[in-house]
Amino acid sequence: MNPIYLDNNATTRVAPEVLEEMLPYLRDLYGNPSSMHTFGGQLHRKIEEAREKVASLLNALPEEIIFTSCGTESDDTAIMSAVESLPRKKHVITTRVEHPAVLNFCRHIARKGYRATFVPVNNLGRLDTDFLFKSIDDDTAVVSIMYANNETGVVFPIAGIAEKLKERGVLFHTDAVQAGGKIPLDLKELPVDMLSLSGHKLHAPKGIGVLYVRRGTRFSPYIIGGHQERGRRAGTENVASIIGLGKACEIAAKHIHKEAADLKRLCDRLETSLLNCCPDTRVNGDTENRLPNTTNISFEYVEGEAILLRLNEFGICASSGSACTSGSLEPSHVLRAMGIPYTAVHGSIRFSLSRYTTEKEIDRVIEVMPGIIRELRELSPFGREKIVCPPE
């Protein structure tokens, strides 16, 4: 039986049309695009067609698109390129709620002699933009701020920030890995210098990413070697995945407005129903500025891990911000940065929908969830005191 897959911010299903488009390049047309012979060389044209499709989704120029291996590589390249292009500047600014791809990279370069500032958010996950602008000084090389948060779906006001940073002459990168393909991104209207995308968040395969670099932006490659990607990212191209990503972007561009509206309706219904039928629940994050597919709900006095295990028995896949399930020792740094109490962080569940999520699947979650929460709360011999919280 197919699972009810509500973990699309972790990864998405490869769209059947994308797989179809890729298969010939895995099976028969396996040449190297750099080869002199036609068998390989013909692939060059296909890569350029895919680049045009990605550029079209972003309203960018094809030459501004660099294919990478993933969102993480795109993020790291953007920050590294900025600090290498401006060698006298030693300060980077990011936020406390970034994905580890940016957060840990900034911590890494901070250990190598750079200064890193981490901008806080409020209890709705909204960015403290005053803090951001006050943090900029003559030493600032780059600001990297995510477009949308992977855990809460909160969307930051990137266009407004970008305008201000342009006036201050600071390079600006945005990690749009969670926004790409879900909400419109128009780089003619959005004056960022660099932007990251990841294929597997928008129904292309894992292992393919994009770094957009605005024409005229100073760029220093991170992966050094051959001449691929016009010398900006060495390594033999992941031809099939690039072609798949092109197709995924083409599909996303065609349906983005309708899909966003459909997702929002389904996601809102799930959220409202769960809040209504489960007591002691709360939504984490700014519901006014949020991705249409994401809701992060805390079920107080229950462990997120226990909820996920019970959901799993019903064939429902979601994810949690509690320490046990997030693969780290610490509970969600995003929810903690928002000042969400420990009891709520531990019981937080993220549901993230996709174009393949059906009404029936949402109905099923609404049907089983109240029973799961009731049962887990009753099972707990200590009731509400079961979760031992460290002092705030």
As annotated, the active-site residues are 324
What is the C-alpha to C-alpha distance for residues 195 and 4, in angstroms, rounded to an integer? 31
- Report the residue number, 150 or 326, with the smaller CB distance to ligand PLP: 150
By CB under 6 A, tell whether 178 contacts ligand PLP. Answer: yes
CB of 63 to ligand PLP, least distance (A): 23
CB of 72 to ligand PLP, least distance (A): 3
CA angle 216, 141, 51 (to 5 degrees): 40
By CB under 6 A, tell whether 101 contacts ligand PLP. Answer: yes
Judged by DSSP in three states, 30 sits in coil
CB-based contacts of 194: which residues, under 8 Å, 6+ apart?
78, 81, 82, 171, 172, 173, 174, 211, 212, 213, 214, 217
What is the C-alpha to C-alpha distance for residues 181 and 148, in angstroms, rounded to an integer? 12
What is the C-alpha to C-alpha distance for residues 20 and 12, in angstroms, rounded to an integer? 16
CB of 92 to ligand PLP, least distance (A): 16
- Report the residue number, 9 or 281, with the smaller CB distance to ligand PLP: 9
What is the C-alpha to C-alpha distance for residues 195 and 93, in angstroms, rounded to an integer? 15
What is the C-alpha to C-alpha distance for residues 273 and 269, in angstroms, rounded to an integer? 6
Judged by DSSP in three states, 48 sits in helix
- Report the residue number, 175 or 229, with the smaller CB distance to ligand PLP: 175
Task: Classify 231 in phi/psi space as left (phi over 0), alpha (psi -120 to 50) or beta.
Answer: left
Q: Count residues binding ligand PLP (CB under 6 A).
A: 14
CB-based contacts of 192: which residues, under 8 Å, 6+ apart?
158, 162, 172, 173, 174, 214
CB of 171 to ligand PLP, least distance (A): 18
Please report, as residue ranges, which positions from 28 to 87 form the binding site for ligand PLP (by CB under 6 A).
Answer: 70-72, 75
By CB under 6 A, tell whether 249 contacts ligand PLP. Answer: no
Distance of CA 331 to the CA centre of its chain: 19
By CB under 6 A, tell whether 175 contacts ligand PLP. Answer: yes
By CB under 6 A, tell whether 146 contacts ligand PLP. Answer: yes
Residue nearest to ligand PLP as judged by C-beta position: 71
Among the listed residues 81, 55, 74, the one whose alpha carbon sits nearest the alpha carbon of residue 188: 55
Which of 33, 180, 209, 246 is the binder for ligand PLP (CB under 6 A)? 209
Beta carbons within 10 angstroms of residue 299's beta carbon: 27
Considering only the stretches 156-164, 170-178, 223-231, 267-275, report the one whose residues sit in contact with ligand PLP under the rule CB under 6 A.
Answer: 170-178
- Report the residue number, 21 or 76, with the smaller CB distance to ligand PLP: 76
Which of 140, 198, 238, 322 is the binder for ligand PLP (CB under 6 A)? 198
Distance of CA 314 to the CA centre of its chain: 27
CB of 328 to ligand PLP, least distance (A): 14
By CB under 6 A, tell whether 179 contacts ligand PLP. Answer: no
Which of 117, 144, 150, 293 is the binder for ligand PLP (CB under 6 A)? 150
CB of 349 to ligand PLP, least distance (A): 17
Q: Are strands 91-95 and 115-119 parallel, antiparallel or unpaired?
A: parallel
Residue given tokens 């089983």 in the structure block: 368
CB of 167 to ligand PLP, least distance (A): 26
Considering only the stretches 130-138, 173-181, 232-240, 341-349, report the one whose residues sit in contact with ligand PLP under the rule CB under 6 A.
Answer: 173-181
Which of 93, 170, 171, 177 is the binder for ligand PLP (CB under 6 A)? 177
Q: For binding to ligand PLP (CB under 6 A), which residues are involved?
A: 70-72, 75, 99, 101, 146, 150, 175, 177-178, 198, 200, 209
